[in-house]
Amino acid sequence: MKLALIQMSPVTGDLKGNLERIKKEIALARNNGADLAVFPEMALTGYCISDLVEDDLFVETNKELLKEIAKETKNIAAIIGFIDYDKGKINNDGRIRKYNAAALLQNGKIRGIAHKALLPNYRYFDDKRYFTPGETRNPLPIQINGKKLNLGISICEDMWDENYDIKPIKELAHKGADILININASPFCPGKINKREEIIKRHIKETGLAFIYVNTVGSADNGKNIIPFDGQSLVYDKKANLIVLGKQFEEETILIDLEKASTINKPQIQRERELFEALVMSLKDYAKQSGFKRAILPLSGGIDSALGLVITAEAFGKENVTAYNLPSRFNTIITKGIAERLAKNLGVEYKIIPIQEIDNTIINTFEGNAHAIKNKIAKENLHARIRGMLMMLESNDTSALLISNGNKTEIALGYSTLYGDMCGGISVIGDLSKTEVYNLSAYVNKRYGKEIMPEEVLTIKPSAELSEGQFDPFDYPLVSPLVDLFVEERDSPIEIIEKFKNRSLGNQFPKEIYQHYSLELFEKLVKDTYRMLKRSVYKRLQGPPIIAVTGRSFGFDLRETLINKWEGVI
């Protein structure tokens, strides 16, 4: 059997566009001699469509379009991810029953439909909210080159069955499947290919069947998170040898003759490369699907905006990016020089808009008509809000996408100004801890083979430069991994303190922590950090959508409430 694995980026809700893409890919696959073209999960609708699933007309239209796709399957078969429904069955919410489904098409007909059995309901997955689990799992028969072949078709989570009672893959094998095919919208996280390999090899060992895995690539969103899909579609033969591996972060049609394929090696994983390319792809695909052709970014000379600019320039192209330095009297010659050099190294347009005069006017106007400003932080935040106002003015005037530069550690602790530096259409590095920001910034020059990121960016003491002699009030090598334990590992203050007592915090913390911190000091740090994390929820909920690239991201991945009296201990 000759396969075409269609690693594509479906556009959310674009039934017409996705339909034309699918039809084109089927024609190309047939012209290249493929017997079967396999598309990703919900390729016709897009996977992250949220409550659009509740639009019955949309769902009915998507299923009707299968007939049009089927017309294109003369002398070829295709597996298409779509949304199925059953008008004869009504759910408790009064809506028709819907299924995350895969249709098998061949020679103008729908040969069979498989329903997703295991519905994820964790992180940003909401399948249980929208879909009914498939009740039966049976191989779908097909004729390939005059021979009958039973396809064991499953959908994404059906493969990740460790914590479920139902085992769809085993059932399909037991009922006579000749080959296993799993279509996916599987999000990226660093090293994801290792976990996929582990799961797939287990299934092959249990069934003795070859395994075909086709994944979405590109980005989608749930309103508060931009979710990257990394592709890397793959095929393992029945001896668990890897024989096909698609590109990472790129759309691709992969052609393979299963009988002639030979073993290939899995690539080595480099965390910084994966994170960097995931962010670039996500920003690029989001901008393309949203219609943004240009981007703007406030460039302070600090490490966060520096990394944000590098990612933005690679995603949009240097000719489509403008960096703005917006200095007040507190911005140093060093940071202004770093910003200018970085923009020059990248070849992006660079502009300067001084804000001190605006700041003076606002303060004089306010104090002359209201009262004297007593809060030092209120005055400091004014600088950030002026910058945000000017950048939003530029975004409105030119229709450019404004990039927000806050990192995950700062967002967690509220070290960001609402309606100031938090302004933006997308948060590119909002899921990177401060530690990851430094790691990726150090990686940039290695990636380009020359100085892009000025060396001072990595060594200068972090500062928002909002007042004279002001520096970030955190020990980032300690606070950054501490925030990660709270957010990604969901550790409680008690659990973290216990890890300190047992000296088992992990190598993400400095080795010297046990010498530099007493138990009393560490407990205070943990509890203070936890309180800051809780106090800052109202800011995070009003921030721009964040590209999710770690184990847990702020947004609809980590769902928080404004009111929460829990302090981590009674």
**CATH number of domain containing 45:** 3.60.110.10
Average pLDDT over residues 126-136: 95
Per the structure, the count of domains in the chain is 2
pLDDT in tens, 226-267: 999 999 999 999 999 999 999 999 999 999 999 999 999 999
Q: What is the DSSP string of 488-504?
A: TS---HHHHHHHHHTT-
Nearest to 98 by CA among 80, 119, 112: 119
Whether residues 411 and 381 share a domain: the answer is yes
Nearest to 131 by CA among 49, 224, 245: 49
pLDDT in tens, 163-213: 999 999 999 999 999 999 999 999 999 999 999 999 999 999 999 999 999
Whether residues 399 and 344 share a domain: the answer is yes
Whether residues 173 and 45 share a domain: the answer is yes
Whether residues 293 and 379 share a domain: the answer is yes
Asked if the structure places residue 519 within a domain, the reply is no
pLDDT in tens, 450-497: 999 999 999 999 998 888 888 999 999 999 999 999 999 999 999 999
| Last residue within a domain, chosen from 474, 492, 519 | 474
| pLDDT at residue 528 in the model | 95
Asked if the structure places residue 341 within a domain, the reply is yes
Average pLDDT over residues 102-130: 96
| pLDDT at residue 570 in the model | 65
Handedness of CA 165, 169, 171, 173 (dihedral sign): negative
Distance in angstroms (rounded) separating the CA atoms of residues 41 and 37 = 13
Asked if the structure places residue 536 within a domain, the reply is no
Mean pLDDT of the chain: 96
Asked if the structure places residue 523 within a domain, the reply is no
Left, alpha or beta for 424 (phi > 0: left; psi -120 to 50: alpha)?
Answer: left
Asked if the structure places residue 493 within a domain, the reply is no
Distance in angstroms (rounded) separating the CA atoms of residues 142 and 148 = 6
Nearest to 26 by CA among 75, 65, 63, 78: 78
Asked if the structure places residue 418 within a domain, the reply is yes
On the question of pLDDT at 569 being above 80, the answer is no
Whether residues 257 and 299 share a domain: the answer is no
Whether residues 99 and 40 share a domain: the answer is yes
Strands 225-230 and 295-298: unpaired
Domain that includes residue 103, residue range: 2-262
Whether residues 318 and 229 share a domain: the answer is no
pLDDT in tens, 279-301: 999 999 999 999 999 999 999 99
Nearest to 157 by CA among 135, 191, 186: 186
| pLDDT at residue 75 in the model | 96
- Please give the model's pTM, rounded to 2 decimal places: 0.96
Whether residues 330 and 206 share a domain: the answer is no
Whether residues 235 and 156 share a domain: the answer is yes
Percent of the chain whose predicted confidence (pLDDT) is above 70: 100
Distance in angstroms (rounded) separating the CA atoms of residues 542 and 555 = 10
Asked if the structure places residue 303 within a domain, the reply is yes
For residue 191, count other CB atoms closer than 10 A to its CB: 12
Judge contact between 235 and 255, C-beta under 8 A: no
pLDDT in tens, 297-316: 999 999 999 999 999 999 99
CATH number of the domain encompassing residue 446: 3.40.50.620
Longest dimension (CA), the chain: 88
Handedness of CA 405, 407, 408, 411 (dihedral sign): negative
On the question of pLDDT at 434 being above 80, the answer is yes
Whether residues 284 and 251 share a domain: the answer is no
Average pLDDT over residues 511-538: 95
Whether residues 175 and 250 share a domain: the answer is yes
